[in-house]
Amino acid sequence: MLQGARVVLGVTGGIAAYKSIEVCRRLVDAGAHVQPVLTKGAGRFVGETTFSALASEPVRNSLWDEDDPIPHTTLGQGADVIVVAPATARLLADYASGRSNDLLTATLIATRAPVVICPAMHTEMWEHPAVQDNLAVLRRRGVHVVDPESGRLAGGDVGHGRLADPARIVAAVDAVLTEPDLAGVNVLVTAGGTREAIDPVRFIGNRSSGKQGHAIAEVAARRGATVTLVTTSDQPVTGPIEVISVVSAAEMHEAVASRSAQADVVVMSAAVADFRPVSVAGEKIKKSGGIPEIRLEPTVDILAELGGNKRAGQILVGFAAETTDVAANAQSKLAAKNADLLVANDVSAPSVGFEHDTNEVVIYGAAGTATEVALTTKVGVAERVLDAVLDLRLQSPAP
């Protein structure tokens, strides 16, 4: 986990160095203590002032620090993880051969902390046998490599070698620091708000963005679980997650019903519509036809169905987005749906719930527990929800 982790962020001299500014910001936002180390070449592409302002400490770039006679050892021993983004072909060669000619390479050799390398270079350089050989050496030594992506490169052409997206880099660093305490656990997560068609243009929906469900899926994957995500959202995911895209409550029900029996944990964080139109118009309804009458019928209560069919050892987590009487409504839903945990929030509160990047919840347990999670990121909420799931699994191991 990145919260409280000491991260050395190495930046080398490549055009992709500008993206490392976003990596720095995301690491700090996740709670990490970030110490940037820039090479001389990096300084030709990005300014030290920017990193010093965004990071937890000012930039360091010299082996000859008057205040610290052995800065590389201090950095290497104090780091929980070192990430280099971007990593140039030269950095890869120096690191693989053990050559330490600046603060960054010396720190890499002077550490026993895990190292994450994020290469970025032109396609011809990336595909060169020497570069691939150096990467193979580093991988054999246990270095974690976040491979580059395909896309537009500095010269205007398109090819492989583009630095990985900052979100993907931060997720990789987080995964290195995260204990795989959910290894071997199959987790099924739902996310987003369903859309119930009125005609080919209009629908009944809600404001759920799917951010909380996606955060739960990604954190579960980082903690070692095998994750399936059934979602209405098209936001990208990081990590080895099977994504099942759906639109309506009926599609979500079908996707969940066909997979729930194999799941050890089911997290129903989606905002599933309670009602849908009885009939869907085949063509767009025109105003000229007058005010239409839309008759509704209930959708399948997926959470209740899962609670009724829950097998021994399976853990079911429900969600309740409320605006009044949050505790009473959540506890009533917890019992009625036969869930093990119910995550409730007041979506009328500032910065809470739908569309926000933050959330504030209470996790109610069937045993009468109530765990308050103060306003934090949705990733932070995901961690707490999965901690509660893990506690239940430890109390009652699956048969």
User: Quick one: 281 exposed, middle or buried, by C-beta within 10 A (0-12, 13-18, 19+)?
Assistant: middle
Enumerate the active-site residues.
206
- Residue range 108-137: mean pLDDT, rounded: 96
Task: Return phi, psi of residue 274, to 5°.
Answer: -80, -25
Nearest to 200 by CA among 279, 282, 289, 291: 282
Q: Which CATH class is domain 186-395?
A: alpha beta
| Tens-digit pLDDT profile for residues 19-76 | 999 999 999 998 999 999 999 999 999 999 999 999 999 999 999 877 888 999 999 9
Quote the tokens at residue 166.
């900052």
Task: Return phi, psi of residue 74, to 5°.
Answer: -60, -45
User: How far is the CA of 264 from the CAs of 147, 231, 398, in angstroms?
Assistant: 32, 19, 8
Domain with CATH 3.40.50.10300 in the chain: 186-395
Task: Return phi, psi of residue 318, to 5°.
Answer: -110, 165
Residues 190, 193, 197, 203, Cα dihedral to 10°:
-170
Percentage of the chain beyond pLDDT 90 is 88
| Tens-digit pLDDT profile for residues 234-287 | 998 887 899 999 999 999 999 999 999 999 999 999 999 999 999 999 999 999
DSSP string, 269-329: -SB--SEEESS--SSPPPGGG-SPP--EEEPP-HHHHHHHTPPTT-EEEEEEEESS-HHHH
pLDDT at 181: 94
Residue recorded with tokens 């799931």: 389
Cis-peptide, bond into residue 86, ω within 30° of zero:
yes
| Tens-digit pLDDT profile for residues 288-332 | 989 999 999 999 999 999 999 999 999 999 999 999 999 999 999
Residues 38, 39, 41, 45, Cα dihedral to 10°:
0
| Tens-digit pLDDT profile for residues 367-381 | 999 999 999 989 899
- Residue range 89-94: mean pLDDT, rounded: 97
Nearest to 117 by CA among 86, 93, 76: 86
Asked if pLDDT for residue 398 goes beyond 80, the answer is no
User: Rg for the chain (alpha carbons), in Å?
Assistant: 25
pTM equals 0.79
Fold of 6-177: Rossmann fold (3.40.50)
Percentage of the chain beyond pLDDT 70 is 99
Domain with CATH 3.40.50.1950 in the chain: 6-177
Compute the mean pLDDT over every residue in the chain, rounded to the nearest whole number.
94
Nearest to 3 by CA among 383, 398, 266, 343: 383
